[in-house]
Structure 1
Amino acid sequence: MSEDTASSARPDRIVTAAVLLIGNEILSGRTKDANLGYIAQRCTELGIRLIEARVVADDEAAIVEAVNALRARVNYLFTTGGIGPTHDDITADCIAKAVGRPLIEHPEARALLDAHYGDKINPARLRMARTPEGAALIENPVSTAPGFRIENVHVLAGIPTIMQAMFESLAPGLVGGAPLLSRALEVDLPESVIAGVLTDAQAAFAETLDIGSYPFARGGGFGVSVVLRSTDGDTLQRGLDTVANGLRGLGGTVEERV
């Protein structure tokens, strides 16, 4: 899918995104990812539905395959990691291969790095100026070295503070659809007891409402959090009332949670 260029929301349609987390350090457990949650929350706030996330190693074939699979399905693909100065930072190379563009030293990125490092610029730091031909830079107000955007692929840093700053520089230009609203209920009954109520409610509201159930254990007791999501506030309220009434009919104590 191609990227939109307008910056206003499009409440008449669904806008989707995916996230590709790149790095051996995530898969080894040495680095605990903090980027997926941030992007997911910000996408929701912007009216963009995150529909998939993947983690891949620093492996060219794996990255290229994942980029091409994901970018074909969504309006926005966000990648994190692999754009630093070391030999295993191969994301720029892989994105160039995925989109069929030559990898170049971006003149604006080179100028930024020259100004930032001065006479301390070296070949390793210049690796951070490489982008596919035709890419637009993504501002990095934290440490200067930019991310980049090519077609609907947005390439961000892996360090959370830098990734967040890059994402926020992008946010005003991202085109969202109708914001996805959510409400949550908690009930002191097991999933096996309430499954029928949820199934019937989901069928009644078809594709206008999404209902999910998430068991919890708390204070020695068990229960289920039921989360309802819709782009329409009236539908969401009607769905909430339907589910709450059904759960109370089973003898459960039901509370709405923020």
Structure 2
Amino acid sequence: MIREYERKIFQKYFLERDSLIAEIVIIGDEVLLGIVREENASYIIEELTKRGFIVRRVVIIGDNLDEIGAVIKDAFKRGAQLVITTGGLGPTEDDLTLDAVSKAFNIPLEVDQKCVERIKSFYGENVPKSAFQMARRLKGAKIYPSPLGLAPAQLIIMDKEKFLLILPGPPREVRTLLPRILDEIAKIIGRKVKCSIRFYVNAREAEITDILAEVIKKFGVYAKALVSLCQGGKLPIELVCFGENMEKCEEKLSIVKKYFCEKVRKIFNRKCLDEEF
């Protein structure tokens, strides 16, 4: 019950205050079957939060045409401004991401001639017919060629400030392509900065749950006791917020920390520590 209460407080007073919401869709039967380890989500989350996005959901789904389209549609219906997909852009029959988006959003597929030339240059005279599947683009999409593969990333502005970013699946390609594209999106939407501080308190999580909920509600920041990192009775507290600039963001967290620590001092007669030991 405590966890559910914290979640509702977080949803209402932190998540809903910040409009930069993103969702991530990892696509591939090979991931669900345990053949390939999923390595993209954590990296994408890090890059998104650096630019002021809050990731609300990460979903892993198989290579199913209708499911891919439905999951992306649902993400936008929930209010996501940016949906990022990885996988399903290769030359095989089960690479269905572009077909799924085309069907779900009624966006025609067309051949990108520059992609065709890249494929021909790579294979030479004997180009497999299936390779040209990677030369397709969704009409109106901006193409970002991958220096490490033949299937490009594609960015579509769905509606005003709603974006769909379709990335290849290989992690090294995601790491090569993503930062530049996110910087472009952030400039259009309005970039924010993320800042965080960590300090320690000699308390158990259950003792400070109400204080954490009060901080989230009062200040609109993320506040979490990191129980998994607790050592020697010192419980780490992480505060996170997003702002227009780093100075204001850090100033706000300083005020929040002071408020939290004063509450702990009054209730438990304990001090907050800047260091773990």
- TM-score tier, shorter chain, comes to 0.7 to 0.9
Alpha-carbon deviation of 1:156?
0.3
Higher fraction of helix: 2
CA contact (8 A) 1:112 1:145 kept: no
Residue 73 (structure 2) pairs with residue 68 (structure 1): yes
User: What is the aligned-residue RMSD (CA, Å)?
Assistant: 2.3
2:263 matched to 1:246?
yes
The residue that corresponds to 2:3 in the other structure is none
1:165-176 mapped onto 2 (5 Å cutoff) = 165-175=176-186, 176=190
**Aligned residues of 2:22 and 2:57 also touching (Cα < 8 A):** yes
Per-residue deviation at 1:155?
0.6
Q: Which residue of 1 aligns with 2:224?
A: 212
Q: Distance in 2 between matches of 1:156 and 1:16?
A: 18
Which of 231, 236, 240 pairs up with 2:253? 236
Aligned to 1:256: 274
CA contact (8 A) 2:224 2:238 kept: yes
1:21 is matched with 26
Counterpart in 2 of 1:10? none
Contact 1:138 1:169 in 2 (8 A): no
Contact 2:89 2:96 in 1 (8 A): yes
Bigger RCO (CA 8 Å, 6+ sep): 1
Equivalent pairs, count: 243
Partner of 1:194: 208
Q: Provide the secondary structure at the position in 1 that maps to 2:238.
A: strand
Give the counterpart of 1:100 among 79, 96, 106: 106
Aligned to 1:53, the other structure's residue is in SS state strand
Name 1:8's counterpart in structure 2.
none
Deviations 1:104-145 (A, max 9, x none): 322222122122222232122111112222322122111243
Residue matched to 2:164 = 153
Partner of 2:128: 122
What is the alpha-carbon distance in structure 1 between the residues aligned to residue 34 and residue 202 of structure 2?
Answer: 35
Could you say what secondary structure the match of 2:55 adopts? strand
Q: What is the percent sequence identity of the aligned residues?
A: 22
- From 173, 182, 197, the equivalent of 2:196 is 182
Q: When the two structures are superposed, what TM-score results if normalisation uses the length of structure 2?
A: 0.79
> C-alpha distance in 2, partners of 1:257/1:101?
54
For structure 2, the residue ranges without an aligned partner over 5 or more in a row are 1-17, 158-162, 244-248
Q: Secondary structure at the match of 1:47?
A: coil
